[in-house]
Structures are given as C-alpha cells and as structure tokens.
Structure 1
Amino acid sequence: MTSFGERRVGLIETAAADQLPAALSALTDSWLAESYATEAAECGLGGANGASTGVALVAVGGYGRGELCPGSDIDLLLLHDDVDTGNLADRLWYPIWDEKLKLGHAVRSMSGTLELAASDTDTATALADARHLAGDATLTARLIEGVQSDWRANAAQRLDELHRSVSRRHSQSGEVAFLLEPDLKTGRGGLRDAHAIRWAQLAGVELPAADTERLDEAYQTLLRSRVDLHRTTGLRSDVLSADDQDAVAERSGAVDADAFMADIARAGRIIAFLSDQLWSTIARQSTALAVPDVDIAGLAVRDGELVIDGDPAADVVLVLHAAVQSARGGIPISRASLDKLAERQAQFPDPWPHGARALFVELLGCGHRAIDVIETLDYFDVWTRVLPEWAPNRNRPQRSRYHRFTVDRHLLEAVAEAARFTHRVARPDLLLMGALLHDIGKGYPGDHTQAGMRLAGPIARRCGWSPTDADTLVRLVQHHLLLTDIATRRDLDDPLTVATVARAAQTQEFLELLAVMTEADCLATGPMAWGDWTANLVSALVEMTSEHLSGSDSTPSTHRRLLTTDIVDLMAAGETALRVDGNVLTVVAPDERGLFSRAAGVLALRGLDVLQADAYSSPAGMAVSSFRIVPPDTPVDWDRVTYDVRRSLRGHLALEARIAERARVYRRRRALSATRAATSVTFDAESATGATIVEVRTEDHIGVLYKVTRVLAEMGLDIRSAKIQTLANEVVDAFYVVGPDGPVIDEAHQREVELALRHILA
C-alpha cells in the first residue's frame, strides 16, 4: 500500500494544474481524517463511528478553501469546547512534520478562538475560510457561524481594517500586472486581493454577477500559475522570477513565456481593477469625500464619482475631458460611465478634433495621478480608441531584469517621471509625448527603435503637431538610448564622442529635451538604469555637448580625467605606486603588456565589480591604470587588495587558477536571467580618436574583465581606456585599444582577436 507521501508526490507530478489544488486538498483531508480517528481513539476522545464530542480538527486559510498548492502551508486548528485534548495535538502534528510539510497549527477553545477572531483581522479572515475535517462537526459549524456573525455585525470596522491591510500589502509587494517578476499571491491584483474581495462580500458588499465571473476566471489563471510555479521550482515562493518563467510557461502549456506572462498580466489587471473598484465604492459610502465641482458640458459629479452624461459617440473628446478631471481632482470615473465609454466611445479621427491635443498633453502632465486613469480606460478598451498603436504593447513583458515593468506601464511611468521635470524644458508637450512614444515600437516586429520611429510621425501629425514638431518626436524616439549608451560605453575625453552626440542632437533645444527624457526613461526603467554613476556621466556628456553646440568648448586633451597632477608626479618618479581614493584604485607602474589585466584580475579575485576603467601609457615608458569599483555592501580591505596587486605585477600570484577556483566555490551575487546572454565582439575605428574601440558583450561571470583584457594583451593590443557596464546578467565592455602597428586594427588581426575572445568566454 502506498504511503500518503508517495500518493502526494504522484498527484503533484501528474494532476492537471486546474485540478491539483482540490485533489491535493481532498487527499490531505482523507489522510488527516484517518489519522485523527486513530489518534483521538488512543487519547480517549473518540465517539461513535470515530467522531469526537467537543473536539474538532478544522482546516483554515488556503487549506480551508480547498486550494492546496504543492508549496502551500497546511493550516490546521484543533478546536475544543473546553475539553482536555491531552497529547492529541502532538500525535496529529508530528506525522505532518515527518512528511516534511509546512504546518500552521493552533490548539484553541471555542471561546478563545472567537475572542481572538473578534480582535484580530488576520485570524478572522483565516477562519472565514474554515472547513470541517474530523471530529465534532457541530463544533466546527458553531465556529463558522460565530465568526461570520461577528464579521457581519462589525462590518464597518472589519472592512476598514481589511482595506488598510490591502494597502500595506500592495506597497510591499508591488503589482502582478506590471512587474516583470510578480508576486502571484500578495501583489496588487494577486490571489490575496481576490480573497479580500470574498471577505468583503461576507460583510455584505455586493459584486455584480459579470464581475464575479471575470474575477473567478482571473483567479483561476493565477492559481494554475502558482501550481505550476511550485511544481517547477520545488519551492514555496510565489514570486514568478525571470529565471523560472520559461520553465513554468512550458509546464503550463503556453506558446512561450511572453504569452504566459501576458496572461498573468491580464489576470492581474482584472483582479486589481475589481479590487480598486470595490474599495473605492466602500470608501465613498462610508466617508463624505470633498470633491471639486466640474463645469464641463457632459460631465457631472455625483456621490463622489465623475459621471459622463454626454454621448461619447457624438463627442469623442469628452473622454479626455473626463480623464483630465479624474486625474486632476482624484475623482474616480463611475462604473456606469466606464461601461458607457466601453460601449459608445468612438475612434479618434485623423486629424484629431480641435482642443484634443491640449487635453491629451494636460492628462499626461498629471504625472503619476494619470496612470490609474489611463490604465482604467485601457481596461475598458477605451484608451486604444484614442491611441490605437498602444494595443500591441498592452501587458507586454520585457524579458530583462534591467526593466521593472511591462512595456505599457513603463511608458506611463516614464511620462509620470517626465511630468516632474517639465520646468526644465522649453517644450513640455514634446517632452511628455516623447516619453509616451519612446518605446511604443516594442509591441511591433523588428527593432523597436525603428518601429517606433515609423509610428511616431503619423501619431504626432494625427494629434495635431506641426511637421517640425513631429520630426522632433521621431528623433526623440530614434535617439532615446543615445545618451546612456554613449556616456556609459564611450570615452568622454575623446573629442569624437562629443562630436557624435552633437551631430545627432543638432540643436540645444533638442539636446535639452533628450537629456530630460533620458533621465525620465531611466528612472522609470529601474534602479539598475539610473544611479549616481550613470547620472554623472550623462550630465557630463550633455554639458560637453552643449558647449560643443554653442562653440564655446575647447578641444579636450585625451585622458584629462585620468592624468591629474598627482598622477603625473607619480609617473615621473618611475616607480610602482598604488593609490586608493574612495572607490577608485589607481596603479602606476613601468609599462608592460598585461599590467591592466593583472590588476583587474586581483579585483575579481577579491569579489569587486569594476564600473569604469581607464589606462594610459606615456612615451617615457610608464603606465597608469585606474579602476572605479561598484560600491560594495561591506568595507573593502584595500590593504589586502593593494598587496595582491603588487604580487600580481611581480608574477607571484596564480591569478587564473585562483579566479577559476573562486568561480567554482562562490555563486555570482547577481542573479542571472532566464535567458543566457550571447557573446558578441565588434570593432569600431571611426568613433575614436587614435584608437579602435573593441566592444565585448557576454554573460556576466567572475573574472570576465580579467579574461578579456588578458586576451587583448596577448593579442598585442594596448588598452587606452575602458568602460565597463553590467546590465542584469550581461556585461557590455568597451575598450579603446592601440595595436602594434597603430590605432587601426586590420581585419585579419580583428578576426584573430574575436576568435580568441570567443574561445576564452565560451
């Protein structure tokens, strides 16, 4: 006879995802009921036919709902009516622990349980889903009736506590629909929000039948995904990480991970919207909210909601009036009005009616207050009647940890960030529209920038911008990555770097727009995209480009940032010298091939990530290498680092062997993406002064900079400067190198360098 554990494992492996929670709950029910009957009899608590008088085993929480997932807790209450249960609890709990299952357990009297439920909302919600398993069924029935009666009697207090709990959870867990790594259970729009709606219904709150049906469908989508996540990972986590999405999508039977995540996003949007609607309705009913009057034909405010009395089919711009008033005044559009918009809103014509563009820009200028309004309109398929090109980007995941949000939410977040900076530009309207359109091409085939450029011009002209302004918006889309790419991957001391940006910008006004839009885009992308280092580099690049455009810049000397007076003096001394200034290590030594690589190897050996590196070789035979490291979580032992660098320069440190050992022993601190980064090597002799740029993209791993620079040295290339950038699991390193025959590397040499790099990085 197979054991419970064997049957459980078999069920988890074979059952369909939509059937597993109920089947796993039923299997657990029968096992626990059998165990209870045996153990209760041993403790003298068994009644006729195995029933118990005054003692009951009760399933609560998710188990009470009959929704056990592979990683779910088994939440149990041993309930008694002031009866001595002896050691029954231990007899019940230990077999569960022996099966290595996570158990949530309590032993309480009826009076104590009801008292606790009356004072603690978490306990009350867990008991709201209580279900009888074994023992005295009348006792369980009394418990359920008592909890639900108290819940209804104190509905106002319960709903207020529940709403505050929902808000706290949302602030901690983010959103299911728009985060690229959503928490399926506790995120906004997750399973717990659906539970909260059900608990609110127990307090008398009503949900329309159509909404109930949509809620159930969305809930089942997330529950199935949670089952497949637990089965795939073997873990209890409910966060659908990028690492696991491909495997979970495959197990679920989805076409691919993008389609799978889009389904998750759709379900999350449905639950989040219905949750927001419910709590907004409760708040209006319980509190007299002060709302501003609206003096616009076709709109009115009633019971704290914005009501559309006009006909959206006859007046297409009415929806923008409503959206602006909702965002500016914080007045929700009534559900009846949203249904009216969904049914009757007409497609915006080409060109837009007079005044529509100004209202559209005003809505975007409302910043973060506009996001919920626009997403609500999109939920009802109304936003795409204003901007049809939006549709392919809805719920579209971005398979990169560099981004936090889906494409549609990222665009709205970028607009919201740009709205904070409109005072910094002469044309706020172009800034806001550029932020909205910069990634619009991601929902279309091919390169997203090229696709976005094709879309931006017609959109701008349809909205009513002049041909000149439309061209500006197209160029903002074209160059939206320019400043960060150049600032983080090119030598700012090279005159050609600034000339390249100036050639793209053309005017001070465009440079101003591009700089602010770049900052808004990066802030909306996530913390990996915009930190002090990136901000300072972009700011320096913009300042230098502005000077270039105005004709006031002087020709920069190469390596001016590296060759300070102190460094020049150290080089003149002709001795090896190491200097630490904050997070910057500078090595001055007699010039020899591989010096840069050995210093980089020591930093890798000590677990330090290089952010930026520069190098210079003087005619007098001295070399300087400078490394700016990523600020670590713990203080750096620089004495140890400099000691090891000196040893490596003397050839007394087996760097390659030690780095390989470190890579075997330690996992990379940075989590890797689900998709591996491919290796690519490119050469550019036209964008650098007196050097060739070798750009290497590859999977991030311990010692990658050491490996690359060692190969470059072995291939006879001297490194003049380097920019090191890490994007999630990918490194993008750019090296300014000079070959044995000068700054231009011939094609045959390039092929050999690429071959060597691909080999070492394979």
Structure 2
Amino acid sequence: QARRLALSEPAARLVRQSVHLIDDDMRRSPMASDLFLQILKRQQRAADTLRAMHELGVLGAYLPEFGETTCLVQYDIYHVYTVDEHTLVGLEKLEGLHGADPSSSMRGMYDELERKDLLFLGMLLHDVGKSRRTEHISEGLAMGRSLCARLSLSEVDTRFVLFLIENHQEMVIISQRRDLDDYKMIADFAGRFANTEWLKALYLLSYGDLSSVAADAWTEWQGALLWELYHKTKEQLESGLKAMEDRQHARQIADAHLTSMKGLWSPQQVEAFDEHVRQLPPRYLVTYDLTQVERHLSYVRCLAEGGIELEFIEHADHTELVVGAQDQGHLLGKICGVLAVNDINILRADVQTRDDDIVIDTFQVTDIDGTPALPQWKKDRVIATLPDVIAGDVEVAALFDKYSSNWGKRTEQPVREPEVLFENKVSDRYTVVDVEATDGVGLLYTLTHSLGDFGLDIHMAIINTVVDRVSDAFYVVDGEGRKIVNYDTLETIRTKLLEDLHRQNTA
C-alpha cells in the first residue's frame, strides 16, 4: 500500500494458502489490530488494499462480520451489486474524492475530515447486518460494537463508528422525503450529532453508500437535496440553537427582497407582495427566490379573473411545471392524473396554499425515460387538457380508461409489498404520510385521489423514485386544518391506501 506495489502471483498464492492461520487469537491481537487500522489511516490506496485483501480471503477471515456479506445478493432492482461489492465500490468512491476537482464542496469536505479512518471503517461495516437477514441496522450495531471492542478502539471512536452504522440511511431518507424548510425537523436532526465532524462523515458516507448502489444511482438532484440538508444542519449545529424563529426568518427575507426592489416597484406592487407572503407559510420565502415570487404574483393577478395559470420552465436536470388555481377537492390528484396520462414522471411536488385558497403547485418533472426536457407536444396536451379537468368538464378517470390500453405494453417489474406509515412528531403542523411502493403509471394520482377522498388537505408532497421504488411523503391536515391523531382514523386511511395500491398493482 505505502509503495503502491501489487503482489506477485506466487505471493498472492501463498497468502491464499495461509488464510487458515487467521484465527481468533490473531483477530484479538493488538499488533494485527494496529496494522489493520494503519491501512485505514493511510491517505491513499486504502480502498485498493481492502479490495485486494478481500479477493485473497484475508479481509473476510480477519473481519468475519464483513466476510459473511461475501457474494450476498440483495433481492431488488435498486441494488445492482452484492453487499460486499457494494461496500468496496463505496470505499472506492470515497477515496476517489481525493482526486476530485479541488473546487468541489465534497472534495473540500473530504480533505477537511480529520478521521477518514473511522469514515472508512463505518463504510466497511454499514451493511454487515444484512448477512443476518433481519433488521440490518440493529444487527449491524451489535456486530460493529463487538468488532470495535476487538480492535481496541477508544470509547469515543467506537461511538463515532456506531453512529455512522446506525444513521447511514438517514440523510438520504430525510433529504428525499422530508420538508427541508421545516426548521423543527432540521433542529431535531441536528440534535443527533456530537459535532460537525460527525455530520461531515455521515454526509460523505451517504454519498459513498448511494453512489455505489448502481452506476447511475447518484444524480445531481439527489446530490443537491443531500447538500441542502447538510448545509442547513451545519448552520443549526454552529448556531447552537435548538429551534429557529420561522416568522422572523421569513420577514428578514421579505425585507431583503423589498430592499432590492426599492425604487423599481410601485407602492401597489409592494403592497401586493406583502399581502402575498402574509398569506403563505414561512417556508415559502425560504423555498422560492424573488424571480419565482414575482412570477407567482403574476399568476395571482390573473387568477382573480378565473381559470388557471400554468407554465413550463426548463432546467438542466428537470422541467419545472407551475400551476396556479383556486383550491378545490382532489386538485393535486387531478394535476397528477393529467401528468400521468401524458407519461410525465414527477420527481418532486411542492404545494403552497394561500389563506384565500389560491394554490401554487410546483412540480419537478422529466419525460418518462428520464429526459429533463419534455417534448413540446406533451406540454401542449397538458396545457389543453388540465383546465378542462380542473373545471370538471373532463374526468381524470375517463382519461385513464382511454390511456390504460397502452399499459400492457410496458415492461413488467417485480411488485414489492407496499407500506404506509404515519409520522406525527416530525412536524408541528402536519401529519406526514409515508408511502413505499413499486412505481407504476398513475401511482401518484392514485395516492392523492385516495387521500382526497378522506377530505385531507395536502400541503406538501415529496416524491422520490429510484429505478422501480417509490418513496413518497405527504404533509396533510384534515378539513379543519388539524393533524390526524386518532388511531382508528389513521388505520382506516392506511387500509384504504393499501387496498388502492394492491388494486393498481394487479390491474
């Protein structure tokens, strides 16, 4: 490793023949432990060395916890590699950051991280619990605790490694399924970290884990969400605050916007801006910049005359669709239905409802094959169809009946058992409905329509689709604007959603 040399074939053969000499005494040997930790501490070629050790049988013999993952298949389309290969690729992705663009934020964070050895050990052990075929994080923690003791790690270092094992999925899940403008959620998440070093390590491990699932698993969109969560959590940690004042923060942003437009806006425009932001939740001004707010204001003025407003805006990695309309039952479901019948894939949806029931819905979408830009004919068809659907002149169900003849032509995917979970602690205002399911045509329409049948108001929808797996989160309240806390009501909603999902999977 230190001299960048490869083993000769005779030397490699001798190592393979001697693997049986690695016994419990050697695994507990302080000298062996020190040598292994030195491999992790060296700045370069740690990943290459660990791969070579694995191929020769040494790594699995010395760390039986990792050895049990050898050739362990993960039975889903999402994971391309076996568990051991996924882990080794993740280590290579992390070490590859050393040679990344010096100006990149991830390269800078990797260079700043003091304990890369513990990051590498956390990456090496993050999935070892999968060999037990049960809940892999709790099993992995038990195995990791035993291994850290065998390596004679200090209590502080052991806590660091176990923290990475326990939380290795959390940043990806939260960044893709939670409202990143919810300061309470950010504050609660920040409370898990002992210091910013732990946060940097978990961010880097999340990158290594996600980018090693498949060759194209890491996307700019996922990277942007993960970076946003890291940045906001870091600010929270460094501020030392447990909660942020939402209204005060929003007011500061509003004042900054007004200052930048001083002399350019008329008093009427300033008044309209103030009125607009007062009727929306604080996260609105955190989520949207001044250009977007001005665009939304133009929609509001036009909506005073009735109808709807919609616009497609192209970005590098997606197309943004903004819809302005008066709120009504099943509004989000109707929009999702029209997008579905036009083979438009929804990556993310943000729902903003003013106090006067004007709704501004923003969707990040791609074409069905993942192309960021939509064909013009699809845009034209949405523009022509959506107003009639919202007005009630055309039923979404009729569009689906007409379109469903094409569904059988699609490649069938294995169907995973859907899950519906409720979370009432993550947000002060909303009940969060989490749905895990196999992706399918019109899935989001099915979910939003079912929630609408219960009279639930969807304030935000976070949509995430990776390969065949959908992980959606809906922030909802009941018809009176309250969280849903009654157990029987939640179970009724769960049963209905699961029935609808099963019906869609078997259609």
The answer for the alignment partner of 1:645 in structure 2 is 386
C-alpha separation in 1, matches of 2:489 and 2:478: 9
- TM-score, normalised to structure 2's length? 0.80
The one-letter amino acid paired with 1:747 is: Y
Alpha-carbon contact 2:40-2:46 (below 8 Å) kept: no
Q: Equivalent of 1:595, from 328, 331, 352?
A: 331
- Residue correspondence of structure 1 range 131-150 to structure 2 within 5 A: none
Q: In 2 relative to 1, CA 541–698 (structure 1 residues): closer, same or farther, beyond 3 Å?
A: same
1:704 Cα shift?
Answer: 0.8
1:425 Cα shift?
Answer: 1.4
Alpha-carbon contact 2:16-2:56 (below 8 Å) kept: no
Q: In 2 relative to 1, CA 725–663 (structure 1 residues): closer, same or farther, beyond 3 Å?
A: farther
Unaligned runs of 5+ in 1: 1-323
My pick for the range that moved more, 571-580 or 680-689, is 571-580
The answer for the alignment partner of 2:231 in structure 1 is 543
The reply on whether 1:400 has 2:42 as its aligned counterpart is no
The answer for the alignment partner of 2:172 in structure 1 is 484
C-alpha separation in 2, matches of 1:400 and 1:364: 34
C-alpha separation in 2, matches of 1:682 and 1:481: 17
Q: Equivalent of 1:391, from 41, 64, 67?
A: 67
The answer for the alignment partner of 1:341 in structure 2 is 18
Q: Secondary structure at the match of 2:27?
A: coil
The answer for the alignment partner of 2:251 in structure 1 is none
Q: In 2 relative to 1, CA 731–559 (structure 1 residues): closer, same or farther, beyond 3 Å?
A: same
Q: Secondary structure at the match of 2:471?
A: strand
Q: Equivalent of 2:448, from 688, 706, 709?
A: 709
Which deviations, in whole Å up to 9, do the C-alpha atoms of 1:373-417 show, x marking residues without a partner? Answer: 123222xxx323311212321110011111121011111111111
Alpha-carbon contact 2:66-2:125 (below 8 Å) kept: no
The answer for the alignment partner of 1:409 in structure 2 is 85
Alpha-carbon contact 1:452-1:477 (below 8 Å) kept: yes
1:758 Cα shift?
Answer: 2.2
The answer for the alignment partner of 2:310 in structure 1 is 578
Q: Secondary structure at the match of 1:338?
A: helix
1:367 Cα shift?
Answer: 5.2
The reply on whether 1:739 has 2:475 as its aligned counterpart is no
Q: Equivalent of 1:559, from 271, 284, 301?
A: 284
Alpha-carbon contact 1:616-1:720 (below 8 Å) kept: yes
The reply on whether 1:429 has 2:117 as its aligned counterpart is yes
C-alpha separation in 2, matches of 1:336 and 1:606: 59
Q: Secondary structure at the match of 2:72?
A: coil
The reply on whether 1:685 has 2:412 as its aligned counterpart is no
Which deviations, in whole Å up to 9, do the C-alpha atoms of 1:604-630 show, x marking residues without a partner? Answer: 011011110011211112111111113
Alignment length (residue pairs):
433
- Residue correspondence of structure 1 range 344-359 to structure 2 within 5 A: 344-347=21-24, 348-353=26-31, 355-359=34-38
C-alpha separation in 1, matches of 2:69 and 2:19: 19
Q: In 2 relative to 1, CA 384–325 (structure 1 residues): closer, same or farther, beyond 3 Å?
A: same
Alpha-carbon contact 2:346-2:364 (below 8 Å) kept: yes
Q: Secondary structure at the match of 1:723?
A: strand
1:666 Cα shift?
Answer: 2.9
Larger relative contact order, structure 1 or 2 (CA cutoff 8 Å, min sep 6): 2
Q: Secondary structure at the match of 2:68?
A: helix
- RMSD over equivalenced CA pairs, Å: 2.4
C-alpha separation in 2, matches of 1:467 and 1:681: 38
My pick for the range that moved more, 585-594 or 552-561, is 552-561
Q: Equivalent of 1:622, from 340, 346, 358?
A: 358
- Residue correspondence of structure 1 range 288-299 to structure 2 within 5 A: none
C-alpha separation in 2, matches of 1:586 and 1:418: 37
The answer for the alignment partner of 1:165 in structure 2 is none
The one-letter amino acid paired with 1:565 is: E
Alpha-carbon contact 1:441-1:451 (below 8 Å) kept: yes
Alpha-carbon contact 1:571-1:622 (below 8 Å) kept: yes
The one-letter amino acid paired with 2:397 is: E
1:341 Cα shift?
Answer: 2.1
C-alpha separation in 2, matches of 1:639 and 1:552: 50
1:502 Cα shift?
Answer: 0.6
- Residue correspondence of structure 1 range 168-567 to structure 2 within 5 A: 324=1, 328-334=4-10, 335-347=12-24, 348-353=26-31, 355-362=34-41, 365-366=44-45, 369-370=48-49, 372-378=51-57, 382-421=58-97, 422-527=110-215, 529-551=217-239, 555-556=245-246, 557-560=282-285, 561-562=287-288, 564-567=293-296
Alpha-carbon contact 1:570-1:588 (below 8 Å) kept: yes
Q: In 2 relative to 1, CA 571–749 (structure 1 residues): closer, same or farther, beyond 3 Å?
A: farther
Which deviations, in whole Å up to 9, do the C-alpha atoms of 1:433-481 show, x marking residues without a partner? Answer: 1111111111124210111111112212322321100111001000000
The one-letter amino acid paired with 2:495 is: L
1:339 Cα shift?
Answer: 4.2
Q: Equivalent of 1:748, from 467, 488, 499?
A: 488
Q: Secondary structure at the match of 2:283?
A: coil
Which deviations, in whole Å up to 9, do the C-alpha atoms of 1:180-207 show, x marking residues without a partner? Answer: xxxxxxxxxxxxxxxxxxxxxxxxxxxx
The one-letter amino acid paired with 2:439 is: D
Q: Secondary structure at the match of 1:420?
A: helix
The one-letter amino acid paired with 2:56 is: L
1:527 Cα shift?
Answer: 4.5
C-alpha separation in 2, matches of 1:441 and 1:350: 21
C-alpha separation in 1, matches of 2:326 and 2:160: 51
Q: Secondary structure at the match of 1:720?
A: strand
Q: In 2 relative to 1, CA 455–707 (structure 1 residues): closer, same or farther, beyond 3 Å?
A: same
Alpha-carbon contact 1:384-1:391 (below 8 Å) kept: yes
- Residue correspondence of structure 1 range 120-159 to structure 2 within 5 A: none
Q: In 2 relative to 1, CA 488–481 (structure 1 residues): closer, same or farther, beyond 3 Å?
A: same
- Residue correspondence of structure 1 range 647-686 to structure 2 within 5 A: 647-667=388-408, 672-673=413-414, 676-686=415-425
C-alpha separation in 2, matches of 1:395 and 1:360: 24
Q: Secondary structure at the match of 1:538?
A: helix
C-alpha separation in 1, matches of 2:344 and 2:8: 50
| Identity across the alignment (%) | 24
Q: Secondary structure at the match of 2:481?
A: coil
Q: In 2 relative to 1, CA 403–555 (structure 1 residues): closer, same or farther, beyond 3 Å?
A: farther
C-alpha separation in 2, matches of 1:336 and 1:760: 58
The one-letter amino acid paired with 2:30 is: W
- TM-score, normalised to structure 1's length? 0.54
C-alpha separation in 2, matches of 1:668 and 1:580: 29
The answer for the alignment partner of 1:145 in structure 2 is none
The one-letter amino acid paired with 1:341 is: S
Alpha-carbon contact 1:598-1:649 (below 8 Å) kept: yes
1:333 Cα shift?
Answer: 4.9
C-alpha separation in 1, matches of 2:169 and 2:53: 26
The one-letter amino acid paired with 2:283 is: T
C-alpha separation in 2, matches of 1:329 and 1:501: 44
Q: In 2 relative to 1, CA 729–486 (structure 1 residues): closer, same or farther, beyond 3 Å?
A: same
Which deviations, in whole Å up to 9, do the C-alpha atoms of 1:694-724 show, x marking residues without a partner? Answer: 1122232110101110111121111100111
Alpha-carbon contact 1:668-1:701 (below 8 Å) kept: no
1:349 Cα shift?
Answer: 3.4
C-alpha separation in 2, matches of 1:732 and 1:477: 22
The answer for the alignment partner of 2:273 in structure 1 is none
1:734 Cα shift?
Answer: 0.6
C-alpha separation in 2, matches of 1:351 and 1:664: 66
The answer for the alignment partner of 2:468 in structure 1 is 729
The one-letter amino acid paired with 1:672 is: Q
C-alpha separation in 1, matches of 2:439 and 2:321: 22
